[in-house]
Amino acid sequence: MKTIYCISGLGADERAFSKLKVDGYALKVINWLIPEPNETIEHYASRMRAGITEENPVLMGLSFGGMMCTEIAKQIPVSKIIIISSVKSSKELPLWMKAVATLKLNKIVPLKSTRLTQPIQNKMLGVQTDEEKTLVAGLRREVDLPYTNWAVNQAINWKNNLQQPNIYHIHGDKDNMFPIKNIKADFTIKDGGHFMIMNKAEEVSACINSIMKQE
């Protein structure tokens, strides 16, 4: 069975891909690493790619994981990149993220999740069911804060303008994190939010299976 190498969203883990069904492929999740002091996203990507053991692999990234897949693809040949609820370049970043980066608000406002911020975060993610709320709450408890601070800073300051020729973009038209108006997607999931990989897994899986059938 062939492998698709997966990188989850910021602070997430292999559970993000648990509901996907891709015919003929095993999903192997590359776990996030603890960032080194002042580490660049390019150097971090070079460490992440150590978990890839096949030549010309298929990479699949969720949200910030999609950005990381793009960075890895700058360093090694890949056959396909599939990004879900993500962005292909800095041009697709929403205005509010660019404003936060410009004003360096992420350096001023604590990023630690609280009871007050969790409902806002859930809305941004498109979390719907009690099961999803429980999963997200668990991820918040487990996430490493220094990693979160590093990853948020890298995401909002991402400067990539290179369009990979073999990238496929799956996006939801109700994504509050990365609004569809900024996105040029290959596959658009109706009523899909940022968390659609879980609550619309069947539709997302269908898109992935269609991509994997393409030469």
For 39, 127, 131, 167, the CA distances from 31, given in Å and listed in that order, are: 17, 23, 23, 21
Helix axes of 130-142 and 118-125: crossing angle, nearest 10 degrees: 120
Q: State the Cα–Cα distance between residues 139 and 200, nearest whole angstrom.
A: 19
pLDDT tens-place string over residues 9-41: 987 888 899 999 999 999 999 999 999 999 999
Largest interatomic CA distance in the chain: 48
Domains of the chain: 2-212 (3.40.50.1820)
Residue 111 has pLDDT above 70, yes or no: no
Least confident of 81-85, 97-101, 155-159: 97-101
Query: Percent of the chain at pLDDT above 90?
Result: 68
Tell me the pTM: 0.89
What is the mean predicted confidence (pLDDT) over 55-81? Answer: 97
Please check whether residue 111 is in contact with residue 148, taking contact to mean a CB–CB distance below 8 angstroms. Answer: yes
Q: Predicted confidence band at 42 (pLDDT cuts at 50, 70, 90)?
A: very high
